Amino acid sequence: MRRLVPPVLVALLLALAGPAGQAPAADGPAVKLSAVQAGTGGSVTVGGTGWRPRTLLMMLVCGRATPARGVVGGTNSCANGDGRAVTTDAAGAFSRRLPVVEPPVPCPCVVHVATVTGARAEADAVLEVAGHPVAPLPAERSAGRLAVLSDTRLTGSGGLLTWFGAPPSRTLVLTVGNTGTSAIENPVFRVGAAHGVFAPEWDERQWHGTLAPGKKAQIRLPVELSAGAHGDYTVTLEYTGRVLAEQPWGVGRPWGVTLFWILLCLVIPAALFRIGMAVVDRVRPRRPGTAGHRRRLSRPALRLPLPRSRTARPPAPAAGPAATTPTLPWFTPDSAPGDPAGRSSAPHDDSPTSPTTPTTKGPT
């Protein structure tokens, strides 16, 4: 007895097989257009599958490009001002209308879809822009072709000067291999650093050496930002118009500069306040009761000797042979006040005797 297959399982198998019994799409991002030819001013619907979930993508109409070689010349060959952004859903799919415009370079043209953030992923779909000129693609410079063989990383760290606003610098390290048929000598790379969604600023870096077919080599390229740069950056490496690798770079804020400005904002007002108070204290008029007046009054006055009273008796002369007789201008030396001789010889009104003859005591 045969076992019957449940109808639900049959429906699930048909859904996985796709329409008309086709196999599921291969892994990897893919892009499909609603029309392969459109004129300027029209639009096409761009659908995609196999992308990372919840990823921001950018859609551009680019010239001088094929799905095999990619966009020759990078985004300079695309109509960047008329691009559209779209975010994939939880299944990694999207659908968005894109206006058809003429790219700045001749066709062949494609609709180029690439991730904006995160790991690099891109896909192209052929689009014929009606009325736009067509020109053959430029010949490749060399039959050699570089491919990234290992994960890209940034080495190095910031120092004390970077903390105070010096330009941050790192070294981009990756391993590449020559998958072409001829050697590559002294390749010139383009290294760009983009801040957020802004376009990168490119610098040319040359690697000195020869890479034979089938060989690999480790490449180290310096990367430097402007002074005071901080935030989220994306370092992009290009070679012959193709993007080889992208690496995110989170640059810390130079807190030393912030600390310097905070201290400057505190010190300058304090210094101006002290200077202003010193000027005001010097130019304002002095009034009684001010600090300067009180300082002048607090100085010790000169102590003058008190005048002697006219009725005060002069001090008694010292006893002994060393005593001297004071000399006054209105007395003779032998008639100074206080002297016994002077006292007996000096005339006075209340004397009962003669002023010139002393009284002698007679015999009793």
pLDDT one-digit tens code per residue, 59-75: 999 999 988 888 888 88
Residue whose tokens read 């000027």: 279
Q: Which two tokens stand for residue 343?
A: 């006292």
Out of 44-53, 286-295, 316-325, which region has the weakest mean confidence (pLDDT)?
Answer: 316-325
Cα 62 to Cα 126: distance, rounded to the nearest angstrom: 10
pLDDT in tens, 125-171: 999 999 999 999 887 665 578 888 888 899 998 888 888 888 999 99
| CA distances (Å), origin 181, targets 178, 188, 265 | 8, 19, 64
pLDDT in tens, 169-189: 999 999 999 988 888 889 999
Cα 181 to Cα 203: distance, rounded to the nearest angstrom: 28
Length of the chain: 364
- CA nearest neighbour of 251 among 268, 270, 235, 272: 235
Strand runs labelled E in the chain: 30-33, 37-39, 43-49, 56-62, 65-66, 70-71, 84-87, 94-99, 109-115, 122-130, 146-148, 153-155, 169-178, 184-185, 188-195, 201-206, 210-211, 216-224, 231-239, 242-251
All domains of the chain in start order, with CATH: 7-130 (2.60.40.230), 146-255 (2.60.40.10)
pLDDT in tens, 216-231: 999 999 999 988 888 9
Instruction: Give the pLDDT score at 320.
Output: 52
Q: Which two tokens stand for residue 318?
A: 């010292």
Residue whose tokens read 């796709």: 18
Q: Are 236 and 119 in contact (CB under 8 A)?
A: no
Binning pLDDT at 50, 70 and 90, where does residue 310 land? low
Distance of CA 272 to the CA centre of its chain: 27
Cα 83 to Cα 199: distance, rounded to the nearest angstrom: 14
Cα 305 to Cα 313: distance, rounded to the nearest angstrom: 18
Q: Are 60 and 75 in contact (CB under 8 A)?
A: yes
- CA nearest neighbour of 186 among 223, 153, 219: 219
Is the N-terminal amide bond of 104 cis, ω within 30° of 0?
no
Instruction: Give the pLDDT score at 91.
Output: 93
